Structure 1
């Protein structure tokens, strides 16, 4: 059955590789991926998809559809980059693989009785584009959502951590740091005390909890007592419940900084909370068999849980409907995601193979679930409830 889809992906391979490289060459940050989204939409329209842009009130989100079958299967495309280091998370590969999978499954749409969707989801690195699109109904009626993410090796049942993305602001009082320091209340000191408290708390974190951050505003000049400071922090945990626990404990550390320095403080949410990935077991196993058939050697199943993939808003999707977020391996020369060397590796021959293999494996997985009577009924029933 997949011969026709493989042929479609092979015929589009030059276009898909060119798309990946073009997105990589012009990295754009969260909610500002205008050129990247336009490039993807152009390819999809050229291959027969009907595309709506600016969906869910997000200018760089889109929804591309092909076919009219009752079972709706979606491939998620990401295309935002990281500040300073560009596509060091390989979202150019994610986008091109999603387009390739869409093209591959479209070749089988009538035969399988499916509607194929490629959903353009901006702002994964920060901003939670998928969370917003879920809340605004863009995933309604979808039976399953699939995507692949590049990494140094193949992981089929990839997991992730729940994430809270916050900004902590302190307000004190400016004063001359030499002539009248007693009149000041140092907001940068508040941030320092909070960081020390967090550092001490780390020893007592529950396994799976993480906290890390930066000082984004520490003052304007050495001779001015800082009247304002800000820290950006990520709080992570293996489950949403453990994340709530960490949020409460970290909150006490942030409050301690304010109390010690005589400042006030506030905490705001930067991005919607990301929940942990809960990949669908049937889809994971089908995908695993497909990539092994392509000559890949994924991590043993028993090792997968020891390598969580940071955090992703795809976790929110997989907690609402069946989905997978496997890692497709490429030769990164020892580099890992969010390193400049990994960004460079994402336009190599190995990366190009990864995007094509990812597209083939996603297509084959989607085709398998569509023709399995029990699984098809499960997905249709779930989609009907949403």
Structure 2
């Protein structure tokens, strides 16, 4: 099976390189990836996929499906293709998305014999307000049996974890007054914002070591001689699980409410970006992927990296069994979100590893489709780990 998969990948390789390099040369920010999503859709349609564009009302999202006449599991590959401001594809989403589309196309060539369905999802804006959150909330992954993607890195790493995150905005409203002539007539909204930071800093000694709270003041007044009537602070609150995030976010909101009460200001609490769930890797699925990756010739697969960031695929992992491994695009240490990282995605080394990674993703899916007991074990693990 490995040799047949490799033959299919090699036949597709030229088109995949063209796709990745086109997106590399045309970097687009989140929810503006019109050229990138169209390029994916064009290639998927060419290979027989039925594509729904502007999926779930998101202009640069898509859902591409290829279904066998034989019933079987639904395999999902997730594409990302948004870039970073100024840097371009410093996170390698040009190659990430290409691998998912490539895996979907290669797997589709086998479905007439083994059954099942493959769905390639175009998921915009991972770098900002990730579309996977909205898509998961609206049921996009409810019928998916397993979901996978592989992210560029300097080494091959197992799928790991990410932090759950809530993006909280505090809007404090006071009353303006001349700060020297009539200070007693004013209500200082900026004081409430500053004291929120002070309250949170006092809270830090009583939070778990793997939690994170960080924020900025985006509005704090216009002139030093006017009591600020409006102040806005934005925070990311992160925790290792959904349940602890809920607890910690409540405490952070209490910090703001206490500060508002002390200043006499009104407080409005909102979310300024989508909030992410923690990534729960399905280890049964991850082990199969690693086994197939080694079969493709990868000798060193490192343990998952300790991560204090947040990923919108975390929300997917609470809906269906999911993995998010990393694959090497270089032989040297490389820092993500840099121009050097972007350039590394269009090298011969990156394309060599692209083929191995696609092979592992496809062989994993074939194994899951053919082995009902394996799929059962994957789902049993998912049910045990999903609620946290």
Q: TM-score range by the shorter chain?
A: 0.7 to 0.9
Task: Return 5+ residue gaps in structure 1 as ranges.
Answer: none
Question: Match for residue 62 of structure 2?
Answer: 62
**Native 8 Å contact 1:4 1:108 kept in 2:** no
Task: Give 2:193's match in structure 1, choosing from 182, 191, 194.
Answer: 191
Shift of 1:340: 5.0
Question: Match for residue 257 of structure 2?
Answer: 255
Question: Match for residue 294 of structure 2?
Answer: 292
Partners of 1:189 and 1:339 lie apart in 2 by: 37
Partners of 2:232 and 2:356 lie apart in 1 by: 43
Shift of 1:377: 5.7
Write the mapping of 1:168-187 to structure 2, written as runs, cut at 5 A: 168-177=170-179, 180-187=182-189
Question: Match for residue 369 of structure 1?
Answer: 368
**Native 8 Å contact 1:81 1:89 kept in 2:** yes
TM-score using structure 1 length? 0.88
Write the mapping of 1:86-97 to structure 2, written as runs, cut at 5 A: 86-97=88-99
Question: Match for residue 336 of structure 2?
Answer: 337
Question: Match for residue 242 of structure 1?
Answer: 244
Question: Match for residue 202 of structure 1?
Answer: 204
Write the mapping of 1:296-335 to structure 2, written as runs, cut at 5 A: 296-300=299-303, 304=304, 307-308=306-307, 310-331=309-330, 334-335=333-334
Partners of 1:341 and 1:199 lie apart in 2 by: 36
For 1:173-208, what per-residue CA distance to the aligned partner results, in whole angstroms no more than 9, with x for missing partners?
334455555544333332222223323322332122
Change (3 A) 1:260 1:15: farther
Shift of 1:378: 6.2
For 1:116-174, what per-residue CA distance to the aligned partner results, in whole angstroms no more than 9, with x for missing partners?
11111223333342232223232232221111122233221311111112222222233
**Native 8 Å contact 2:284 2:377 kept in 1:** no
**Native 8 Å contact 2:284 2:381 kept in 1:** no
Partners of 2:365 and 2:249 lie apart in 1 by: 38
Shift of 1:53: 0.7
Secondary structure at 1:164 match in 2: strand
TM-score using structure 2 length? 0.87
* Worse-matched range after superposition: 94-103 or 139-148: 139-148
* Worse-matched range after superposition: 175-184 or 289-298: 175-184
Shift of 1:102: 0.9
Question: Match for residue 27 of structure 2?
Answer: 27
Partners of 1:82 and 1:299 lie apart in 2 by: 27
Secondary structure at 2:279 match in 1: coil
**Native 8 Å contact 2:103 2:362 kept in 1:** yes
Partners of 1:53 and 1:173 lie apart in 2 by: 48
Question: Match for residue 36 of structure 2?
Answer: 36
Partners of 1:380 and 1:238 lie apart in 2 by: 22
Tell me, yes or no, if structure 1 residue 137 matches structure 2 residue 125.
no
Secondary structure at 1:123 match in 2: coil
Secondary structure at 1:12 match in 2: helix
**Native 8 Å contact 2:165 2:236 kept in 1:** yes
Change (3 A) 1:171 1:380: closer
Change (3 A) 1:367 1:83: same
**Native 8 Å contact 1:321 1:382 kept in 2:** no
**Native 8 Å contact 2:50 2:66 kept in 1:** yes
**Native 8 Å contact 2:123 2:131 kept in 1:** yes
RMSD of the alignment, in Å? 2.7
Change (3 A) 1:200 1:380: closer
Number of aligned residues: 379
For 1:220-260, what per-residue CA distance to the aligned partner results, in whole angstroms no more than 9, with x for missing partners?
44454432222222111111111112102211222233234
Change (3 A) 1:235 1:335: farther
For 1:283-304, what per-residue CA distance to the aligned partner results, in whole angstroms no more than 9, with x for missing partners?
101111122232241214xxx3
